[in-house]
């Protein structure tokens, strides 16, 4: 801790809440700029919804949500329509204030007219969401899962998931929501901070019992009942990767604004807390993402009325210590140095081996035999790697640190609890990263560093450079599109400091242009085709500039 004054540069900076220090020019910071904003309930819902528009089936792990107050009329209309088409549908909804946590201000409703409009909604926006009525129960209780995810790098994307997490239990037996039990928080909300106040809360020294258990203990139980635990893990990994893919485009905009490319700055990593609910059929559903998950390994115990003491919590300790320890192992700058040296040694060896083979071949005139042998060795490795990419999750032992064989001090530590899932499974998920490519176009035209919004000139340049305007889409129409969409987004956005077009507005404009240009295709194909077209024209332009520059 450096309570006062400036200090020498550090290898790792551990910020308590969010990325906040723009005076760091090297090392690694444990928070990404903009992450806190990105995982707020409204922003997360918006980011996931953009992905649901493009890939509805792939993103059906997030409950249908509406943003209040702006989408209240839409919410009312859609619910009425769905009820009309299926009169047996008796939904329940959960209203969650934006930026709230620990169950604060959350309530359940049966009908849109039950939303408490007085005061709070206007001053405090919220998300209203379909309530998952049939969760998986253990010991007749509802529970959710807290999983820790390390976003180790944004570019290139690197994601790790902790192999164990926490299961947090309600303290009243679950019943499907009825008008009578809607308000019973100990039955419907799994928040630890709420349930701890229930007389039924059980602190346990054992990771298999009590109101907070390890996720692995639940998996063991499910497995003994014959559940397909491997498939469940694979679905969870897929949910985590897809959620991060939904968040990365905007995170990149924040990143370039706080840490401009080409200027000295730190790199970032972040531990995220994913809250996941399992449905009765074992389908995992995303509830929310926490940018600053609690890492407490103690809990309060009331010794006598009103007298509290902090006592160790073995369940928290088992899960959280491993997450922090392994995060530090993965971002260890010494390890990177060792790895670089190791890679250099391997490369040197390969070059020398190659030279040796060529030399021998030349001397012995056995070029083909030797060359084939070398290729064969390499192919085997590549094949091995691609096989590993095929299976989406072996729930086997966690990753070992790359070079812990013998000489590394890490050899004495337990194997990593953090399992790399991206880029390991990149092949299965890269097709979803369309908005990332749209964000790359957006960032290119942002121009002045430090901004997160695109001005009208930047938007016009984008249209011109990508050759998107023609006789049926004039530059005047371009300006109208810019003004319309930007005005609407700025009236609902939280960031009023900067004027201009934010990324979501640009994405909306981009989808509009794609629909115009490629009418007959499904939306994700329209968008992919327009991205290809833009990237093609920009590459040609860069090439021309390069040649012109050389000339
Ligand atoms: P907070 O940040 O206040 O904890 P959450 O989104 O995590 O807000 O919701 C609090 C609790 O409410 C969750 O832990 C879960 O038990 C319950 N919950 C939230 N959303 C849903 C939902 N769509 N369906 C069922 N239960 C939900």
Location of structure tokens 């000139």: 457
Q: How far is the CA of 189 from the centre of ligand 1 (A)?
A: 6
Residue 480: band (very low, low, confident or very high) from pLDDT cuts 50, 70, 90 = very high
Q: How far is the CA of 164 from the centre of ligand 1 (A)?
A: 21
Q: How far is the CA of 100 from the centre of ligand 1 (A)?
A: 11
Tell me: pLDDT of 391 over 80.
no
Q: Tell me the pTM.
A: 0.86
Residue ranges of domains in the chain: 19-51+135-347, 64-131, 430-544
Residue nearest to atom 27 of ligand 1 (CA): 131
Cα gap 254→37, rounded to integer Å:
10
pLDDT tens digits, residue range 211-238?
999 999 999 999 999 999 999 999 999 9
pLDDT tens digits, residue range 267-310?
999 999 999 999 999 999 999 999 999 999 998 877 788 888 88
Which residues, judged by CB distance below 6 Å to any ligand atom, belong to the binding site of ligand 1?
Answer: 63, 94, 96, 100-104, 106, 129, 131-132, 144, 189-191, 275, 277, 287-288
Residue 305, token pair as written in the block: 């009325």
**What are the residues facing 193 on neighbouring strands?**
none
Burial of 344 (0-12, 13-18, 19+ CB in 10 A): exposed
What is the secondary structure of 479-515 as a DSSP string?
A: HHHHHHHHHHHHHH-S--SS-SB-HHHHHHHHHHHHH
Q: Is the dihedral of CA 7, 12, 15, 19 positive or negative?
A: positive
pLDDT tens digits, residue range 422-450?
999 999 999 999 999 999 999 999 976 67
Instruction: Give yes or no on whether 19-51+135-347 and 430-544 have one common fold.
Output: no
Q: Tell me the mean pLDDT in the region 47-61.
A: 97
Q: Tell me the mean pLDDT in the region 59-86.
A: 95
* Closest CA relative to residue 470, chosen from 533, 545, 528, 540: 533
Residue nearest to atom 2 of ligand 1 (CA): 101
Residue 372: band (very low, low, confident or very high) from pLDDT cuts 50, 70, 90 = very low
Tell me: pLDDT of 364 over 60.
no
Q: Tell me the mean pLDDT in the region 464-468.
A: 95
Q: Tell me the mean pLDDT in the region 181-208.
A: 89
Q: Which atom of ligand 1 is nearest to the CA of 190?
A: 16
May I ask the CATH architecture of the domain 430-544?
Orthogonal Bundle (1.10)
Residue nearest to atom 11 of ligand 1 (CA): 189
Residue 261: band (very low, low, confident or very high) from pLDDT cuts 50, 70, 90 = confident
Tell me which of 23-32, 117-126, 248-257, 317-326 is least confident.
Answer: 117-126
- Higher local confidence (pLDDT), 117 or 291: 291
What's residue 376's pLDDT? 28
What's residue 496's pLDDT? 61
Tell me: pLDDT of 100 over 70.
yes
Q: Tell me the mean pLDDT in the region 126-141.
A: 96
**Which spans in 160-278 are helix H?**
185-188, 192-195, 215-224, 229-258
When computed from its CA atoms, the radius of gyration of the chain, rounded to whole angstroms, is: 26
Cα gap 119→121, rounded to integer Å:
6
Is the domain spanning 19-51+135-347 CATH 3.40.50.720? The answer is: no
């Amino acid at each position: 801790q450096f309570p006062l004054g400036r200090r020498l540069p550090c290898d790792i900076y551990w910020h308590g809440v969010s990325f906040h220090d723009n005076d760091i020019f090297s090392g690694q910071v444990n928070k990404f700029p903009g992450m806190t904003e990105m995982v707020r309930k409204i922003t997360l819902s918006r980011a996931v919804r953009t992905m649901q528009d493009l890939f509805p089936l792939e993103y059906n792990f997030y409950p249908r949500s509406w943003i209040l107050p702006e989408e209240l009329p839409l919410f009312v209309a859609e619910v009425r329509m769905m009820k009309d088409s299926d009169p047996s549908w008796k939904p329940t909804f959960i209203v969650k204030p934006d930026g709230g946590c620990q169950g604060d201000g959350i309530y359940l409703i049966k009908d849109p007219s039950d939303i408490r409009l007085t005061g709070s909604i206007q001053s405090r926006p919220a998300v209203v969401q379909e309530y998952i009525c049939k969760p998986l129960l253990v010991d007749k209780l509802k529970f959710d899962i807290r999983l820790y995810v390390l976003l180790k790098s944004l570019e290139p994307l690197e994601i790790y998931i902790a192999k164990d997490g926490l299961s947090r239990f309600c303290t009243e037996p679950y019943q499907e929501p009825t008008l009578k039990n809607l308000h019973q928080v100990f039955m419907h909300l799994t928040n630890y901070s709420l349930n701890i106040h229930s007389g039924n809360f059980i602190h346990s020294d054992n990771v298999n019992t009590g109101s907070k258990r390890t996720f692995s203990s639940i998996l063991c139980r499910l497995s003994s009942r014959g559940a397909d635990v491997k498939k469940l893990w694979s679905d969870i990994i897929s949910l985590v990767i897809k959620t991060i893919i939904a968040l990365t485009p905007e995170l990149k905009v924040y990143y370039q604004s706080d840490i401009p490319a080409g200027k000295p700055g730190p790199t970032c990593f972040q531990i995220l807390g994913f809250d996941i609910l399992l449905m009765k059929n074992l389908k995992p559903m995303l509830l929310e993402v926490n940018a600053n998950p609690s890492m407490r390994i103690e809990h309060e115990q009331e010794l006598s009325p009103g007298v509290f003491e902090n006592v160790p919590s073995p369940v928290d300790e088992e899960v959280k210590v491993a997450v922090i320890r392994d995060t530090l192992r993965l971002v260890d700058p010494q390890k990177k140095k060792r790895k670089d040296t190791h890679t250099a040694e391997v490369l040197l060896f390969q070059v020398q081996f190659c030279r040796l083979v060529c030399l021998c071949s030349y001397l012995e005139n056995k070029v083909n035999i030797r060359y084939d042998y070398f290729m064969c060795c390499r192919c085997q490795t590549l094949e091995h790697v691609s096989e590993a990419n095929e299976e989406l999750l072996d729930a086997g032992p966690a990753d070992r640190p790359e070079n812990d064989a013998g000489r590394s001090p890490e050899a004495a530590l337990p194997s990593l609890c953090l399992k790399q899932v991206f880029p390991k499974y990149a092949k299965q998920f890269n097709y979803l990263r369309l908005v990332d490519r749209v964000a790359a176009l957006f960032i290119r035209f942002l121009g002045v560093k430090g901004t997160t919004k695109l001005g009208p000139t930047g938007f016009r340049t984008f249209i011109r450079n990508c050759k998107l305007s023609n006789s049926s889409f004039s530059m005047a129409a371009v300006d109208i599109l810019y003004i319309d969409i930007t005005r609407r987004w700025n009236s609902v956005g939280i960031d009023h400091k900067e004027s201009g077009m934010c990324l979501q507005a640009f994405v909306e404009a981009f989808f509009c242009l794609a629909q115009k240009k490629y009418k007959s295709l499904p939306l994700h194909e329209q968008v992919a085709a327009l991205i290809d077209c833009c990237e093609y024209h920009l590459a040609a332009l860069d090439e021309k500039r390069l040649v012109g520059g050389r000339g």
